[in-house]
């Protein structure tokens, strides 16, 4: 797959995952959950869809224990970025969704680069 098509597929998969992520978050917020619990649940739901989609479709690498372990390292970093943005938006504007939306480009670029060059790279350590 050429690089521009691969990036386009990555973005399309990311949009699907973002819809799952934000959808779960919003459902939980409207159900009375605290923003940290709702953000976390949305993030976990999105990450499971994300790994399955990108391992099979975007990078055509298939799932493995080692790629999933590398993926979880990146997820940890992206989780910290997400929670930082959400907490900042809550502190400044009382709007957790705003922070979530602002975090999406950061975690998308970080996720693509680390996926391409580390997580799903052929012969990755």
Q: How many CA atoms lie within 13 A of 96 on its CB side?
A: 16
Residue 85 lies in a domain: yes
String of b and e for 23-59 (b: at least 16 CB within 10 Å)?
ebbeebbeeeeebeebbbbbbebbbebbbebbbeebb
Q: What is the pLDDT of residue 125?
A: 54
Distance CA 18, CA 14 (A): 6
pLDDT averaged per 10 residues, the chain (length 125): 84 92 96 96 91 92 90 92 96 96 89 92 65
Containing domain of residue 59, as a range? 3-119
Q: What is the pLDDT of residue 113?
A: 92
Give Cα 86 to chain centroid, integer Å: 14
Distance CA 87, CA 93 (A): 10
> Does pTM surpass 0.75?
no
Q: What is the pLDDT of residue 123?
A: 63
Packed helices 35-53 and 65-93: angle between N→C axes, nearest 10 degrees: 150
Please give the tally of structural domains in the chain: 1
Backbone angles phi, psi at 54, to 5 degrees: -70, -35
- Token pair for 2: 């050429």
Residue 124 lies in a domain: no
- CA 124-113-97 angle, to 5 degrees, is 130
């Amino acid at each position: 797959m050429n690089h521009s098509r691969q990036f386009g597929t990555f973005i399309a998969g990311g949009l699907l995952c973002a819809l799952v992520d934000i959808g779960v978050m919003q459902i939980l917020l409207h159900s009375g959950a605290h923003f940290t619990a709702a953000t976390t649940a949305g993030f976990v739901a999105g990450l499971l869809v994300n790994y399955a989609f990108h391992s099979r479709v975007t990078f055509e690498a298939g799932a493995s224990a080692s790629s999933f372990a590398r993926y979880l390292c990146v997820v940890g970093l992206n989780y910290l970025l997400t929670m930082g943005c959400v907490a900042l938006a809550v502190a400044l504007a009382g709007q957790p969704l705003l922070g979530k939306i602002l975090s999406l480009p950061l975690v998308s670029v970080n996720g693509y680069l680390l996926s391409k060059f580390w997580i799903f790279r052929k012969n990755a350590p």
